[in-house]
Amino acid sequence: MRTMTKSWPLPDATETAAMIRRRDITALEAVDEAIVRAEALQPALNFMVMPLFEQARERAKLTSLIGPFAGVPYLIKDMYDVKGAPTRWGSRFTSRLPVAAKSSQQVQALEAAGLILIGKSSLGEMGFLPTTEPVGFGPTNNPWDITRSPGGSSGGAAAAVAAGILPMADAADGGGSIRIPASACGLFGLKPSRHRLIGQQTPAGGVVVTSEHCVSRTVRDSAALFASMERTGQAGSMPFVGPVTGPSKRRLRIGYVFHDYNGRAPDAEVLTGLEKTIKLLQELGHIVEPTQRPFDSAALLVSFSHLFMMGAQQAVGMARASLAPKPLGMLSLALQLSGLVPGGIGPMPDTTMIEEFTLALSRIAADFPRGETGRIKKEIIRAEAQYDQWYESFDVIFSPVLRTPPVKTGHIVGNLPFEVLWERLLDYAMYTEIDNMLGTPAMSVPLHWTAAGLPVGMHFAARKGDERTLFELAYELEDARPWALRAPPVNAFRQGVGGS
């Protein structure tokens, strides 16, 4: 068998697709090598909840594969349906649900781009936490330090890409779940604007906060996948982006914010990264100035947490429906989806089926006043106007992604007492949520490593629809501070499984 490489780094997805087109390797060889790497590192990292190896091999044999990534192996986050496979969402109750009858729109679009799904990647239960330690599936480990979390909820995807198992992987971001694992694993991760890409979904309380895309080692992989997934017909609400292939000569006005939405300052290691990034941006000729958020971030954060809790209520409702006798269960699910009975009907699940944190969020949501979703929507409209006004003075807003470097395994996990876990959340991951509330694009760029060798991502946000500015800035930063050659201690090539 011909091999792609036996040395770090793994070719990115763009180069892998080019190798397949040139017939340097076949799609089947690319997939088989990814499977070898996946099997070798799964015990150390626990990044995958379900292999799809045989389906992947059969698809790789097709001569009809087309698209910009034809033949490139890929992982899909286990919150999307793949025909014939279960969808577990990181939760134990989902073992009662049938396998998917058809693939989700997201999966269909990815396969239309030529990608070959080799497995389903791990996530925290229902994607609620900024770590990936579901009680039912065990923790996913960070290849930079296996005693630490790779972030979440797309932690399985980030761990796999960082370790060189495959060049990019699916991710979804409802409050930071692309950007947080990208930061924790030294990868590039861009969250698109709301409704920008095909397949974006997951309403929380009637407000769509989740955007899907990927985590990748290179900017060009992310930009090319974005271009292949971009919805057409959006010109009325957002400018069409299309392919972005390199940096711009345009110099930007960049405002920076140090403190998180709770007013907490970053720790010393993160602050060092911020200061170095400010210096880099200035050296590149950008105008960089301190700024203040023009909206009540504490109030918006409370509203986001209410959406978060209503999402947990929906998850518990699904679990109740799965426990109810068949006719009652179907009625429960229908009532829940209609919004008439958001918590569902049927037996209440316990902590053997759903983590205590999810149950606690659902209990809190049950006490929200009627009309809470309407109030939040009005608050979002007010904040959007303030946010747009902010961008009259700046092109990009810059901050950390996380207040600290990646946390230790077990620090943020769903079976801890609620008050303990809530405080740890507030202390760790409070820089990313508002861009989900307002539907604006934002990205994590791997620009700093701590003295202990842990990655720290820098966060850049732009006005809604302006992904082009972010991609162009990311290309420039990648050229100035290349990160793709950095290898974590746990990687496929160090373990001797880079090729066969």
- Which among 153, 183, 297, 444 is annotated as catalytic? 153
Q: What is the pLDDT of residue 337?
A: 54
Each residue of 97-109: pLDDT tens digit? 899 999 999 999 9
Q: What is the pLDDT of residue 496?
A: 57
- pLDDT of 24 reads 97
282 and 133 in a single domain? The answer is yes
Q: pLDDT-derived band of residue 5, with 50, 70 and 90 as boundaries?
A: low
How confident is the model over 186-214, as a mean pLDDT?
A: 83
Q: Is residue 495 part of a domain?
A: no
Q: Let me know if residue 496 belongs to a domain.
A: no
Name all contacts of 235-238 with Cβ < 8 Å and 24+ positions apart: 237/195, 237/465, 238/193, 238/196, 238/464, 238/465
Report the distance separating Cα 13 and Cα 19, nearest Å.
10
Residues 390 and 356 in one domain: no
153 and 238 housed in the same domain: yes
Q: Residue 499: inside a domain, yes or no?
A: no
Residue 189 and residue 334 share a domain: no
The total domain count for the chain is 2
Tens digits of residue pLDDT in 377-430: 899 989 999 999 999 999 999 999 999 999 999 999 999 999 999 999 999 999
Position 204 confidence tier, pLDDT thresholds 50, 70, 90: very low
The predicted-structure confidence for 116-159, as pLDDT tens digits, reads as follows 999 999 999 999 999 999 999 999 999 999 999 999 999 999 99
Domain end point (choices 359, 380, 401): 380
The answer to whether residues 366 and 406 belong to one domain is no
Is 183 inside any structural domain?
A: yes
Q: Which of 165-169, 274-278, 315-319, 325-329 has the lowest mean pLDDT?
A: 325-329
**207 confidence band (pLDDT: 50, 70, 90):** confident
Rounded distance between C-alpha atoms, residue 102 and residue 91, angstroms: 21
Last residue of a domain, which of 349, 380, 411? 380
Determine the pLDDT at residue 208. Answer: 85
* 90 within 8 A of 80, measured Cβ to Cβ: no
Query: Do 182 and 66 share a structural domain?
Result: yes
Out of 329, 355, 380, a domain closes at 380
Tell me how far apart the alpha carbons of residues 71 and 18 are, in angstroms, rounded to a whole number.
10
Q: Which of 104, 122, 177, 305 is catalytic?
A: 177
Residue 500 pLDDT grade (very low, low, confident, very high; cuts 50, 70, 90): very low
What's the 3-state SS for the chain? CCCCCCCCCCCCHHHHHHHHHHCCCCHHHHHHHHHHHHHHHHHHHCCEEEECHHHHHHHHCCCCCCCCCCCCEEEEECCCCCCCCCCCCCCCHHHHCCCCCCCCHHHHHHHHCCCEEEEEECCCHHHCCCCCCCCCCCCCCECCECCECCCCCCHHHHHHHHCCCCCEEEEEECCCCCHHHHHHHCCEEEECCCCCECCCCCEECCEECCEEEEEECCHHHHHHHHHHHECCCCCCCCCCCCCCCCCCCCCCEEEECCCCCCCCCCCHHHHHHHHHHHHHHHHCCCEEEECCCCCCHHHHHHHHHHHHHHHHHHHHHHHHHHHCCHHHHHHHHHHHHHCCCCCCCCCCCCCCCCCHHHHHHHHHHCCCCCCHHHHHHHHHHHHHHHHHHHCCCCCEEEEECCCCCCCECCCCCCCCCHHHHHHHHHHHCCCCHHHHHHCCCEEEEEEEECCCCCEEEEEEECCCCCHHHHHHHHHHHHHHCCCCCCCCCCCCCCCCCCCC
Do 423 and 371 lie in one domain? The reply is: no
One domain, residues 205 and 350: no
Residue 304 confidence (pLDDT): 93
pLDDT at 409: 98
Phi and psi at residue 228, to the nearest 5° = -75, -20
d(CA 95, CA 67): 34
Tell me what pLDDT residue 202 has: 46
153 in active site: yes
Nearest CA to 81 out of 95, 94, 100 is that of 100
- The b/e string for 41-53 (b: 16+ C-beta within 10 A; e otherwise) is beeebbbbbbbbb
Q: What is the pLDDT, as a whole number, of residue 328? A: 56
246 pLDDT exceeds 50? yes
- Residues 56, 70: one domain? yes
Q: What is the CATH number of the domain that holds 143?
A: 3.90.1300.10
Residues of the chain with pLDDT > 90: what percent? 83
- Say how far apart CA 80 and CA 101 lie, in whole Å: 12
Question: Within a domain: residue 231?
Answer: yes
Whether 51 is in a domain gets the answer yes
Q: State the pLDDT at residue 10.
A: 93
pLDDT at 489: 97
Residue 493 within a domain:
no
pTM: 0.95
pLDDT band at 236 (very low <50, low <70, confident <90, very high): low
Strands 203-204 and 188-191: unpaired
**Residue 117 shares a structural domain with residue 188:** yes
Domain region containing 187? 13-296+381-480
Mean pLDDT score of the chain, rounded to an integer? 92
Q: Are residues 126 and 233 in the same domain?
A: yes
Evaluate whether 406 touches 151 at the Cβ level (below 8 Å). yes
User: Does residue 346 share a domain with residue 224?
Assistant: no
**Is 340 among the domain residues?**
yes
Q: What pLDDT was estimated at residue 323?
A: 86
